[in-house]
């Protein structure tokens, strides 16, 4: 396993992050525990979750992870656990967003569900435009002073939000954000405009979610033609909208002798500023296959061809700041 620092922090995390959103609603608890054990065997030490995961049964995923930690064997000590807050945990008005009150209550609730004394990375799942940054950082500072949280990160924030957050933290004499979790893949490259440049400038590690764009970059044309997958609704519409590019992409991957999923992950790993793409395996087999991406080396010609198929924003932020 390869490791890197989480942004400008000193903590080392694996180049692949284990996403746990499927644990509970899709993957049952015994299988989820087996996947986490296998992840540790492979050297994956970076796990991501959120307090709302479990969806109809919010908190379920954190509970599953907590019972896995409780088995001992160094599980908690080996893992850099990241969780998130923002989403509504009840129908009451103060159990949502980023008020100091909700930050305090949400952190304590996540700690209880995770059966741990501390959260390594506490992330704001979305932007709260109604709560001042000074209030957010004051609440975060208390959590850090209490030893409940080590690092703080954001998710789905714009470049402006990252700048504002870190400038406020710096004014208060604090470290600020060390990570941003955003959608980023070959098909969705908007973060290259301002989010990724802001992250690089502030030393914030980017953690891409949906690296395969819901499976469209995972060999979707071949699997549907072979009858292994059936697309309906928005997934089918997305494929038809991007079919020429995806056909060219799958042909390139075939010429390379690599699976499309591995190439998509390897491309992200090659991007400056990216810490670790989030993989969300539903089975141990999917986890094992994802590790192949760490061995895929993409040459300059291949990277240029991928940019031709999926145009990005290589000159950002100067795309429009001329």
What gap in Å lies between CA 109 and CA 101, rounded to an integer?
12
- Indicate if 53 belongs to the active site: yes
The token pair at 233 is 């609704």
Catalytic residue chosen out of the listed positions 53, 151, 184, 202: 53
Contact in structure between 199 and 223 (CB atoms under 8 Å): no
The helix (H) or strand (E) run that includes residue 138 is: helix 133-145
What gap in Å lies between CA 13 and CA 19, rounded to an integer?
14
Q: Which single residue is written with the structure tokens 């030490």? A: 45
The token pair at 181 is 């979790």
What gap in Å lies between CA 193 and CA 312, rounded to an integer?
9
Nearest to 164 by CA among 193, 191, 204: 204
> How far apart, in Å, are the Cα atoms of 270 and each of 8, 12, 302?
18, 18, 12
What gap in Å lies between CA 43 and CA 108, rounded to an integer?
29
Nearest to 176 by CA among 191, 192, 162: 162
What region, left, alpha or beta, does residue 50 occupy, with left being phi > 0 and alpha being psi -120 to 50 degrees? beta
What gap in Å lies between CA 22 and CA 230, rounded to an integer?
20
What gap in Å lies between CA 21 and CA 281, rounded to an integer?
9
Catalytic residues: 53
């Amino acid at each position: 396993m390869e490791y890197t620092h989480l942004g400008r922090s000193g903590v080392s995390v694996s180049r692949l992050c284990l996403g746990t959103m499927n644990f509970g609603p899709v993957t049952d608890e015994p299988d989820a525990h087996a996947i986490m054990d296998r992840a540790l065997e492979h050297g994956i030490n970076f796990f991501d979750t959120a307090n709302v995961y479990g969806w109809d049964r919010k908190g379920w995923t954190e509970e599953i992870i907590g019972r896995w930690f409780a088995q001992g064997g160094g599980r908690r000590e080996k893992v850099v656990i990241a969780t998130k807050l923002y989403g509504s945990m009840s129908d009451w008005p103060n159990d949502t967003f980023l008020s100091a009150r909700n930050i305090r209550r949400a952190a304590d609730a996540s700690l209880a569900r995770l059966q741990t004394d501390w959260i390594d990375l506490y992330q704001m799942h979305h932007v709260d435009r109604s709560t001042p940054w000074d209030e957010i950082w004051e609440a975060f500072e208390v959590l850090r002073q209490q030893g409940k949280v080590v690092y703080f990160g954001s998710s789905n924030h714009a470049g402006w939000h990252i700048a504002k957050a870190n400038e406020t933290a710096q004014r208060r004499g604090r470290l600020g954000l060390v990570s941003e979790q955003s959608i980023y893949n070959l098909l969705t490259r908007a973060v290259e405009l301002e989010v990724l440049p802001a992250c690089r400038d502030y030393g914030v590690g980017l953690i891409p979610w949906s690296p395969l764009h819901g499976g469209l970059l995972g060999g979707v044309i071949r699997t549907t033609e072979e009858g292994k997958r059936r697309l309906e609704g928005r997934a089918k519409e997305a494929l038809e909208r991007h079919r020429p590019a995806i056909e060219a992409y799958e042909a390139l991957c075939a010429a390379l002798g690599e699976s499309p999923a591995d190439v998509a992950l390897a491309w992200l790993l090659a991007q400056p500023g990216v810490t670790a793409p989030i993989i969300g395996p539903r089975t141990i087999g999917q986890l094992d296959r994802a590790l192949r991406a760490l061995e895929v080396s993409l040459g300059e010609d291949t990277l240029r061809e991928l940019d031709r198929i999926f145009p990005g924003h290589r000159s950002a932020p100067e795309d429009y700041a001329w």
